[in-house]
A and B are shown apart, each in its own frame.
Chain A
Amino acid sequence: NAGVTQTPKFRVLKTGQSMTLLCAQDMNHEYMYWYRQDPGMGLRLIHYSVGEGTTAKGEVPDGYNVSRLKKQNFLLGLESAAPSQTSVYFCASISGSNQPQHFGDGTRLSIL
């Protein structure tokens, strides 16, 4: 049972490039979340989804887009990467409200 899988684990981009981070879960969870983690800032919520076909903005959504076309996948896109988006990105999922999250292992993204 894989749980939550994030792809890729590491990536280096140049300013202005685009890329998509993939989060896949095999637990049939309804809710999925994208966070970024920066030193001294904790985890900040970027976007989240409460079900297939739905997305909503979190605390720091600017510069990111998301899609949830399939229940098991939650994609995070950077259309034009900026150095300020250098971070570790975590995906998480839960089965229902007020449940503990299952986290992926994170994606370390560097923007040069």
Chain B
Amino acid sequence: AQKITQTQPGMFVQEKEAVTLDCTYDTSDPSYGLFWYKQPSSGEMIFLIYQGSYDQQNATEGRYSLNFQKARKSANLVISASQLGDSAMYFCAMSGDDKIIFGKGTRLHILP
């Protein structure tokens, strides 16, 4: 069975600092994908970054990078130079066996 875990319910970070949001996963499927989504207070789900299980390099999208450690089954999101607008809920998700499941999320607060 697939499982995805986010162990940080909330985080407070000073503006302009880098942030790492933790995500660990478990699956027996050799082919899977890992995603991060942002949900601001307005409620919409915003796709941030994707990493495939066979990708050799860590994914990057602007200020977002995914620190993929396959042997440790972790897929942490790194946000460089955080901004006030980064304050939101962040969800890690995993695809496999036609399903896509989500972690419980981390609420990130950026402090001015």
Interface set of A (CB-CB < 8 Å, partner B): 31, 33, 35, 40-45, 48, 50, 56, 58-59, 88, 90, 92, 94, 97-101, 103, 105-106
Contacts and interface: CB of A to CB of B under 8 A. Distances in A.
Interface size class of B (residues with CB under 8 A): 20 to 34
Contacts, number: 59
Interface of B: 6, 9, 31-33, 35, 43-45, 47, 50, 52, 91, 93, 95, 98-105
Contacts of A100: 35, 47, 50
Contacts of B33: 97-99
Given A42-B102, A105-B44, 19 more contacts: A33-B100, A42-B103, A42-B104, A42-B105, A43-B93, A45-B101, A50-B98, A58-B101, A90-B45, A92-B100, A94-B100, A97-B98, A98-B32, A100-B47, A100-B50, A101-B93, A101-B100, A106-B43, A106-B44
